[in-house]
Structure 1
Amino acid sequence: MPASIVVFLVAVPLSLGVAMASGAPLASGLIAAVVGGVVAGALGGSAVQVSGPAAGLSLVVADLVQTYGWRATCMITLLAGAVQLLLGVFRAARAALAVSPAVVHGMLAGVGVVIALSQLHVVLGGSPQRSALANIIELPGQLVEPHGHKIAVGMLTIGVLALWMRLPKQVKVVPAPLAALLVAAVTAWAFGWDVTRIDLSGAFTEWAFPVLPQGDWHMVVAAVLLVALLAGVESLLCSVAVDSMHTGPRADLDQELTGQGVANMVSGALGGLPLAGVIVRSTTNARAGARSRVSTILHGVWVLVFAIGFGWSIQLIPIEALAALLVFIGVQMVNLGHIRKVHGHGEVPVYIVTMAAVILLGLAEGVLFGLALAALLALRRLTGVTVRTRQLPDGRYHATISGSLTFLGVPRLTQELRAIPAGAPVDLDLNIDFMDNAAFEAIHAWRLDHERLGGTVDIDELHDEWYAMAASGVRMYPAKTLSSGPDRSWLPWAHRRSRASQRVEPPHGTPGQADCRLTEGAREFHRRTAPLVRPIFTELARKQQPTHLFITCADSRIVPSLITASGPGDLFTVRNIGNLVPRRGTEPHDDSMGAAIEYATQVLGVHTITVCGHSGCGAMAGLLSGGVKAGSLPSMRRWLRHGNHSLARFIETAGDRLDADALDLLCKVNVQQQLDNLRTYRKVDDQVRAGRLKLVGLYFDIGSARVHMLPPVSSSLSVKA
């Protein structure tokens, strides 16, 4: 109920203003407001959207009234509603969302400028011209003429509208348009100003059924479709926008379009303006607390009651005050927020072209120009290609081609590639999601020419292998592919996807292979990963601040950053055979682990020390065998002495059990023993006792790729200060 009253107070002055801007009878605005509330509100698919006469349609209606007359315009509105009804029945509403918002916002901005220019003449005591250009030309002459009370009431209205936006919330409960018209009407009446009054005499009694427009039926059909599509698109976009303002059910767009169609048919039959979802009223409704369509329906009822019972009060409003309200609304329709939004997506040209064409040529022409430019820009983006070429320190050239490779990008593509010196070695990355035959022929011909002149070309395709398949004669499908992403950097080399053109490598297991793999991996890092992580490493270059000391085995299958989902700068890592932590002062003496512990706890100030073991550890197998498996490795035998305490704890825990699970049990016991060994270091023990340092045990089951937490086992191994 409160929301419906607030929307009603906003709807009455705006409906009158839109009717005036449209050159239609003022009562038609109130009729459309009633029908938009009751019919569209009851049949529509949005919970809080409010429909009524929309300023965005005023230029079309004004042109139709001048061309065909008012009753024929009502018939066009009725037929446009029938078109909307059919579109809703056939569930075509979603197609309207394909219209670029830049076109819609540009259209509304252009309409706002045209309304402001035309109604400014009324404020100045004159009459609006047929076009925006004529209004601009006539404006200087209008300004030099004496204005008297008419401009005074107009300026008063604009002043109240501007001031009302800065008043406290308690005052702004009364909508600004209503307050401005009340102040203007009361002031003009109190001081006896000579102003033009609104005349509603006979407006609701002289009704006649709409008539068919006379003239070229092609133009009539075009007018019907224009009204139907513009009103439908504005309503659907308004529904989507309003959905974000409330927590109720989401809008059913097809039902909304059907409801709009029925409402326009009723409005046209009753002599009302074309209607659409209006963002100002819908926003007001949502912010006033509306939760269902009952608010929208009631607002239409209040408009009807007011028009029948208190319509005489409308005649106290000066026409100049209503024109000033339209000037203010028109200026507000040029929304800087919309310009900022479309700027972020590179669509400002669409916005500006649409707005300029609406102002200079007309609404239909402006929308068509905007849609055409939006389509051209979309085509340019979809077929755009980016080519970057740079020379590496070793003399090689690295070229990256990104985008969709079509015949439209061939001139740019060939120009950039042929700028690479003949005979140079080239790494060519194809970061593409489509390649047509013309693009393939261009790249392939350049490659053959470059290699014929002594150069080399290594092609690496980061997505699907369009070039490789085309070169092998595989049939190419015309659809773009979804990005499969680059090769995962954490995959083993043997599991990486084969390339279309790899260098010839030595046979597997030969000494040169590792060098080739590492060199290729470094090059891959430079190409793909380095540009992404460079900002992080630039920041880390100043200082490292890890939060964890991570002690783990040197086993090649353990990747600490992978199993902990950590990144650069997170872990201070120490690796050795068997993830052993020699007890402080034990023999054989080893300072590497003690130095790492001291540096991590006293310089870096880590919060956690983690010891991570793993299943099937070879060091623990050697320990379990009593050194037999390490017999030919004297350094290994000496190092494994640091695991004797782990072995003793295992024997105490498992007895003489030597089953298949014994090795993994020792691996787990070893982790817990190393946590105890850490506390033989005085600084570690002190920080653990003070709660500043936490010791954590992890066990990585390689076969199942699962990480398990191992709790420390209390012992008497910690030292006293």
Structure 2
Amino acid sequence: MLRHDLPASLVVFLVAIPLSLGIAVTSGAPLIAGLVAAVVGGLVAGPLGGSVVQVSGPAAGLALVVSELVRTYGWRATCMITLMAGALQVVLGAFKVARTALAVSPAVVHGMLAGVGVVIALSQLHVVLGGQPQRSAVENILELPAQIADNHSHAVAVGVLTIALLVLWPRLPRVNVVPAPLAALSIAALTAGLLGWDVARADLSRGFTDWATPAPPTGDWHGIAGAVLLVALLAGVESLLCCVAADRLQDGPRANLDRELTGQGLANLVSGALGGLPVAGVIVRTTTNVRAGARSRWSATLHGVWVLLFAVCLGWCVTLIPLEALAALLVFIGVRMVNLGTVRGLHGHGELPIYVLTMGAVVVVGLAEGVLLGLGLAALFALRRLTRVSIQVRLEPDDRWHVVVTGSLTFVGVPSLTSSLRAIPAGAAVDLDLNVDFMDNAAFEALHGWRLEHERGGGTIAIDEIHDQWYTTAAASGTRVSAAKTPPRAPDRWWLPRAYRRGGPLSRIPVRHGQTWMPSREGGDETGPHGGAVPDLLAGTADFQRRTAPLVRPFLNRMARTQEPSHLFITCADSRVVPNLITASGPGDLFTVRNIGNLVPRHGAAPPDDSVVAAIEYATAALNVSTITVCGHSGCGAMAALLCGGENIGALPGLGNWLRHGDHTLARYILSDPAGEDHGPLDRLCRVNVAQQLDNLRTHPSVARLVDSGRVQLVGLYFDIGAARVHVLDREGFSPVTTCPR
């Protein structure tokens, strides 16, 4: 592990030094406080946190909070607030509430960080220009023109040089192995020293004597408690989101969020006690760590060791760095915190207004206020989505009105619902589909009242609840003029035979026969030789058109011009065998051939049959299927005819000619050894037939070539109808397909 983690830790160390110093500057804290937080982030949060690759330290997202705390309570009191915030994080981690923090809208978090970045960039831009930052972002914006016009000193040259290096350094070949922040600060310091520029210098001359022990804050305890809560929550949420992002960057062990929150709390306890800045997981250092090849916690821990050695042994080097160069680094970091990739992602999910409001409020009003406004807007958006309802009303060609209500039907959607329903003329026939996941009392009263009024006016309404029975359940406890759909005795699913769906929606759908409308009757009492068969079939197509077609139309539209099935599926024409049902496949998956007995005529067989051969040729040559499956089934009538020598098919000459292709199956059955099998003669013949048809497939030269080259695989299946069990053919015979554990 160390051969990967050691060099990664050095890379992260080189990135951490300038960032820690810069964040300390913008926070109004002693420079040593930034290094203390970096050391603690490595030595405490590194080994104790929940992520193996996350690197913690002072975070730019907390700089505004710390800066305000320093102005309000002083630096030593801010250290005590950091300590207490760490204790609160430890308690929250012990209660395992870390996952709850992920419920905060990422749009709010990213908007907060972007707002913080804008505020930091605006304030430090004044330092780059040789001036002093104002107290608020608005004042910084207003003073910026005058600052640009009046200040053209050496400070500007250092700042411009630093920003130029930060932008261009990663694009330079070979030398970009050195982190850009370190290179920019080093070159800026060297240039300012050689040219003798008049710039301010970072002051770390007293080294660790700048350490400040925490002191209790004085003032309103409500404000102090709010500050502790704010630091704990902001640092915790930022760390946890960084932790989740780190999991996406690496393939190692997944992060334990509760442990991460506890580790961050302990780090803040120690950092506050030692006079350091608040600690949080930092995405810049974490990303650098992963890209540098880190594999374990050793990288984050060792980076803390290197920072400690630097502070003790090489702290004097910091005095060579111009403060304007650190300010330029912070301007660059602040601008980078406004992530355009995040903006595009939020725009795609309709959450961009939350991001913009949070960012703008943080810049104009303040951090806490901006976050609260963002959370409020995110809650309103969530409520709007949860109560969103779609109402579609259209007149069908058969002069029936079709109404589809989708979503959550609550009081919020009642105005839209009643407005849409009142557009339907009195006396009209209406099909009402309720595809709702919830219906409150206000929505039920509005819908039920409209229904009663419409039926009193001579109209008819057929209500079909596609999922839960919200309307039916509510109406059952009151007065109903006509029956709504009641839950069927058996589940109302398309794959059930019609005999099991009597009284369901198919029995009430009127269908057109010629120019006459007639109801569907599943009891077989229609006049004529076929009873209700034609109306039943048309009722099924009507039900498909109303309920299933809207669901499958999008992907059927995409595959309308071409088909790309992966399987040629040859099976019996028996009505009890439904290939898509027993293989859980959909449109476009199976190229299906059905015939009596799932027979495949041998190459050159007499009488010839071009139908099956044509399907095989087309499937293998044009569609490039990868498997050819022959599926037999129990109780096959064709195999029963073979067993009795064709005595019962004398009046069916075409069937007799076709069954001659089963002669090889019968011969194989006679020669087979039934020992050890407990199947009856008929089912044993059905199984033998599957194996024989696979051999028949190999007699076709084109199929044999594809099988020998490995481009096509032959598969044998047997469907036990009574047990609803599929068996697969292997070298040992047929064995049931096992159910994969979920």
- The interval holding the TM-score normalised by the smaller chain is 0.7 to 0.9
Aligned to 1:715: none
Q: CA deviation digits over 1:5-54, x for unaligned, max 9? A: 22221111111111111122222211222222222224323222222111
1:570-609 → structure 2 map (5 Å cutoff): 571=590, 573-579=592-598, 593-595=609-611, 597-598=613-614, 601=617, 605=621
Cα deviation for residue 515 of structure 1 reads: 3.3
| Structure 2 CA distance for partners of 1:472 and 1:348, relative to 1, 3 Å | same
Report the equivalent of 1:508: 523
Q: How many residues align?
A: 691
Q: Mean alpha-carbon deviation: is it higher for 687-696 or for 394-403? A: 687-696
Check whether the contact 1:461–1:499 (CA below 8 A) recurs between aligned residues: no
Native 8 Å contact 1:50 1:278 kept in 2: yes
**Structure 2 residue matching 1:244: 3-state secondary structure:** helix
Q: How does 1:140-159 map to 2 (within 5 A)?
A: 140-159=145-164
**1:667 is matched with which residue?**
686
Query: In the TM superposition, what whole-angstrom CA distance separates every residue of 1:308-353 from its partner, at most 9, and x where no partner exists?
Result: 2221111111111111010000000001111122222211111111
CA distance in 2 between partners of 1:113 and 1:380 (Å): 30
Distance verdict in 2 for CA 1:668–1:447, change over 3 Å: same
* Deviation (angstroms), 1:649: 5.6
Kept in 2, the 8 Å contact 1:459–1:501? The answer is: no
2:305 matches 1:304: no
Mapping 1:224-623, distance limit 5 Å: 224-473=228-477, 488-495=493-500, 499=504, 503=508, 506=521, 508-511=523-526, 512-538=531-557, 541-542=560-561, 550-569=569-588, 571=590, 573-579=592-598, 593-595=609-611, 597-598=613-614, 601=617, 605=621, 612-623=631-642
Q: Which string of whole-angstrom CA distances, capped at 9 and with x for unpartnered residues, describes residues 170-219 of structure 1?
A: 42221111110000000000000011111224352254433322322211
Change (3 A) 1:51 1:498: farther
Please point out which of 120, 130, 155 is paired with 1:125.
130
Please give the alpha-carbon distance, in whole angstroms, between the structure 2 residues aligned to 1:131 and 1:547: 64
What is the SS of the residue equivalent to 2:91?
A: helix
TM-superposed CA distance for 1:167, in Å, is 1.9
How many Å separate the matches in 2 of 1:98 and 1:678? 58
Shift of 1:583: 8.0
Q: Give the one of 65, 68, 71 matched to 1:63.
A: 68
Letter in 1 for 2:613: I
Structure 1 window deviating more from structure 2 (226-235 vs 65-74): it is 65-74
Q: Which moved more, 1:285-294 or 1:347-356?
A: 285-294
Residues 547 and 605, structure 1, Cα contact 8 Å, conserved in 2: no
Residues 35-54 of structure 1 aligned to structure 2 (within 5 Å): 35-54=40-59
Q: For residues 231 and 541 of structure 2, what CA distance do their matches in structure 1 show?
A: 62
Contact persistence 1:554–1:579 (CA under 8 A): yes
Question: Bigger shift: 407-416 or 301-310?
Answer: 301-310
Paired residues of 1:552 and 1:576 also in contact (CA < 8 A):
yes
Contact 1:698 1:710 (C-alpha < 8 Å) held by counterparts: no
Shift of 1:128: 0.3
Q: Distance in 2 between matches of 1:377 and 1:116?
A: 30
Supply the distance in 1 between the matched residues of 2:282 and 2:337 (Cα, whole angstroms). 12
The equivalent position to 1:706 in structure 2, one of 726, 738, 742, is 726
Taking the aligned partners of 1:603 and 1:230, their CA distance within structure 2 comes to 60
In 1: Cα distance, 2:682 partner to 2:406 partner:
52
Q: Give the 3 Å change call, closer, same or farther, for CA 539–7 of structure 1 in structure 2.
A: closer
**3-state SS, counterpart of residue 204 of structure 1:** helix
Give me the CA root mean square deviation: 3.3
The 3 A distance-change label for structure 1 pair 633 and 78 is same
State the Cα distance separating 1:447 from its structure 2 match: 1.8
> 1:686 & 1:530 partners in 2: Cα distance?
41
Q: How far apart are residue 259 of structure 1 and its match? A: 2.3
> Is the aligned partner of 1:24 residue 2:29?
yes
Q: Is the 8 A contact 1:461 1:500 kept in 2?
A: no
2:512 alignment partner in structure 1: none
1:534 offset after TM fit, Å?
3.0
In structure 1, C-alpha distance between the alignment counterparts of 2:89 and 2:713, rounded to whole Å: 68
1:393-446 CA distances to partner (integer Å, 9 max, x unpaired)? Answer: 222222221111211111112112222222222222221211111111122122
Name which of 87, 94, 115 aligns with 1:89: 94
Gaps of 5+ in 2: 1-5, 479-490, 509-518, 732-742
Would you say the 8 A contact 2:51–2:260 is kept in 1? yes
SS in structure 2 of the partner of residue 165 of structure 1? helix
CA distance in 2, matches of 1:265, 1:541: 64
- Per-residue CA deviations over 1:677-717 (Å, capped at 9, x if unaligned) read 789xxxx8453565589877654332333244499xxxxxx
Distance 1:382 1:317 in 2: 54
* Higher mean C-alpha deviation, range 642-651 or range 487-496: 642-651
Deviations 1:251-288 (A, max 9, x none): 22222222222222222222221121111112222222
- Residue of structure 1 equivalent to 2:109: 104
Distance 1:674 1:199 in 2: 89
Sort the Cα spacing of 1:73 and 1:611 in 2 relative to 1 into closer, same or farther, 3 A: closer
Relative to structure 1, is the Cα distance of residues 515 and 20 closer, same or farther in structure 2, using a 3 angstrom cutoff? Answer: same
Deviates most, 404-413 or 101-110:
404-413
Cα distance in 2, alignment partners of residues 619 and 37 from structure 1: 76
In structure 2, the CA distance between the partners of 1:167 and 1:641, relative to structure 1 (3 Å rule), is closer
- The one-letter amino acid paired with 1:664 is D
CA distance in 2, matches of 1:537, 1:262: 56
SS in 1 for 2:208: coil
**TM-score between the two structures when normalised by the length of structure 1:** 0.87
Indicate the larger mover: 280-289 or 630-639.
630-639
SS in 2 for 1:76: helix
Rounded to whole Å, the distance in 1 between the matches of 2:565 and 2:39 is 67
Preserved contact between residue 25 and residue 203 of structure 1 (Cα < 8 Å): no
Matched, 1:162 2:167: yes
Percent of aligned positions that are identical: 67
**Once the two structures are superposed, what CA deviation does each residue of 1:569-615 show, in whole Å capped at 9, x if it has no partner?**
5555444444456789999x7x8x43453465379846677654322
Q: Given the superposition, is the C-alpha separation of residues 376 and 312 from structure 1 closer, same or farther in structure 2, using an over 3 Å criterion?
A: same
Give the drift of 1:636: 5.6
**Alpha-carbon distance change, 509 to 25 in structure 1, aligned in 2, over 3 angstroms:** same
Which of the numbers 135, 142, 155 marks the counterpart of 2:140? 135
CA offsets 1:620-670 (integer angstroms, 9 cap, x no match): 324433455446767766765665665566456589xxx972222333455
1:211 corresponds to which residue? 215
Distance in 2, Cα, partners of 1:581 & 1:208: 89
CA 1:43–1:561 in 2, change beyond 3 Å: closer, same or farther? closer
2:191 paired residue number: 187
Match of 1:12 among 12, 17, 20: 17
Structure 1: unaligned runs, 5 residues or longer: 475-485, 712-721
Q: CA deviation at 1:156?
A: 0.4
Distance (Å, rounded) in 1 between the aligned partners of 2:113 and 2:688: 73
Contact 1:487 1:497 in 2 (8 A): no
Cα distance between partner residues in 1 of 2:93 and 2:49: 11
Task: Give the match's secondary structure for 1:274.
Answer: coil
